[in-house]
Amino acid sequence: MIQQVPHLQSLFSNYLSSHQFDQAPVGLYEPINYILSLGGKRIRPVLLLMGCNLFNDEIENALPASYAVEIFHNFSLLHDDIMDEAPLRRGQPTVHIKYNQSTGILSGDVMLVYAYEYLLQVGSSNIKNIIKIFNKVAIEVCEGQQYDMDFETRSNVSIAEYLKMIEQKTAVLLAGSLKMGALIGGATEEDANHLYEFGRNIGIAFQLQDDILDTFGDPEKFGKRVGGDIVQNKKTFLVIKALEIGNELKRAELNMLMNNTPQDEELKIEKVKSIFNELQVREKSEELMESYLIKAFEYLDKVKVEESRKEPLRNLSNQLMGREV
């Protein structure tokens, strides 16, 4: 549960529950209800509602669009899981495992269409603008996934390329959700763009933090296996930075570790972590994360509404970054 905005979360959950996919053919629609029921924090729809609420006390209007972004997000998870051959999602079997791959592809496809169907329900005169923002985000999410896959087989990924990839794959959907919500709530284009930049910078900071926690997190608090990225040889910021600043010996050592399937995974994790520690890439990642957070809040400052209305967004951001509020 997101402590800051339980009322928005439950407003959204109620909307989702009353808009299940109960039509025929069951083979197409049951997997959609399944993946939507796996939960998650519903951050994107909540951000969309918060973007609206910043400018407007009436947020019911924004519910269909908030559902659209949650459907889109789950569509992209569903198809990504097929591409990544992932067996589990939030501890449950992925759709292509529980049903089959064709179902996964086709149910995902129709989800994307339904995202537009819900977007169309936005009772706003600038519906065309809203759909344009959604399209731009959706295209960037696909491009980000492509870059992510491309990077798997490339050894020379730069920091700039990595940051662009996580921006597209993760941050723009958060940013777009805030912007669409703001416009539905009646924001000016300028304020909506400030919120977009707030979301984009916060999103990059989240992802950098996720990379750090995956390697250095507390196993009791972190939901996934600590060190998972290292075992899977994922080219996170930590790896790319280490390859950028390490001397020839360190680079060779890290490349060797990442190109071999180890007999002892824990030993591999330890060895990679010790290279990270020597090169202080965790600290460098935290510095960069901080700079994105600062930029994010600068954009939030620029939004022309009473400061008190911004508190929930500030608090939510801090909570999601694991900071006490």
| Site size toward its own copies, by CB under 8 A | 34
* Candidate list 132, 154, 304, 323; residue touching its own copies; CB under 8 A: 132
Closest separation between CB of residue 78 and its own copies, Å?
Answer: 10
Q: Is 276 among the residues that bind its own copies (CB under 8 A)? A: no
* Candidate list 113, 252, 256, 305; residue touching its own copies; CB under 8 A: 113
| Structure-token pair, residue 60 | 């019911």
Closest separation between CB of residue 107 and its own copies, Å?
Answer: 8
Q: Is 267 among the residues that bind its own copies (CB under 8 A)? A: no
Q: What's the rounded Cα separation, in Å, for the pair 70 and 143?
A: 19
Q: Count H helices and E strands in the chain, helices first.
A: 16, 2
* Candidate list 2, 38, 82, 258; residue touching its own copies; CB under 8 A: 82
Contact (Cβ atoms closer than 8 angstroms) between residue 118 and residue 75: no
Q: Is 22 among the residues that bind its own copies (CB under 8 A)? A: no
Q: What's the rounded Cα separation, in Å, for the pair 265 and 269?
A: 6
Angle 43-53/307-320 helices, nearest 10 degrees? 170
Q: What's the rounded Cα separation, in Å, for the pair 198 and 215?
A: 26
* Candidate list 105, 231, 320, 321; residue touching its own copies; CB under 8 A: 105
Q: Is 127 among the residues that bind its own copies (CB under 8 A)? A: yes
Residue in 54, 63, 2, 61 with CA at minimum distance from that of residue 178:
54
Q: What's the rounded Cα separation, in Å, for the pair 201 and 192?
A: 14
Which residues make Cβ contacts (< 8 Å) with residue 250, sequence separation at least 6? Answer: 242, 275, 278, 279
Q: Is 108 among the residues that bind its own copies (CB under 8 A)? A: yes
Q: Is 30 among the residues that bind its own copies (CB under 8 A)? A: no
Closest separation between CB of residue 183 and its own copies, Å?
Answer: 16
Q: Is 254 among the residues that bind its own copies (CB under 8 A)? A: no
Q: Is 21 among the residues that bind its own copies (CB under 8 A)? A: no
Candidates 11-19, 35-43, 131-139, 291-299: pick the segment binding its own copies (CB under 8 A): 131-139
* Candidate list 19, 40, 86, 143; residue touching its own copies; CB under 8 A: 143
Contact (Cβ atoms closer than 8 angstroms) between residue 273 and residue 215: yes
- Tell me the three state secondary structure of residue 89: strand
Closest separation between CB of residue 108 and its own copies, Å?
Answer: 8
Q: What's the rounded Cα separation, in Å, for the pair 19 and 64?
A: 10
* Candidate list 3, 10, 17, 83; residue touching its own copies; CB under 8 A: 83
Contact (Cβ atoms closer than 8 angstroms) between residue 312 and residue 268: no
Closest separation between CB of residue 266 and its own copies, Å?
Answer: 30
Contact (Cβ atoms closer than 8 angstroms) between residue 64 and residue 118: yes
**Which lies closer to its own copies via its Cβ, residue 105 or residue 213?**
105
Contact (Cβ atoms closer than 8 angstroms) between residue 80 and residue 145: yes
Residues forming the site for its own copies (CB under 8 A):
24-25, 27-28, 79, 82-83, 101-102, 105-106, 108-110, 112-114, 116-117, 120, 127-128, 131-132, 135, 138-139, 142-143, 145-147, 149-150
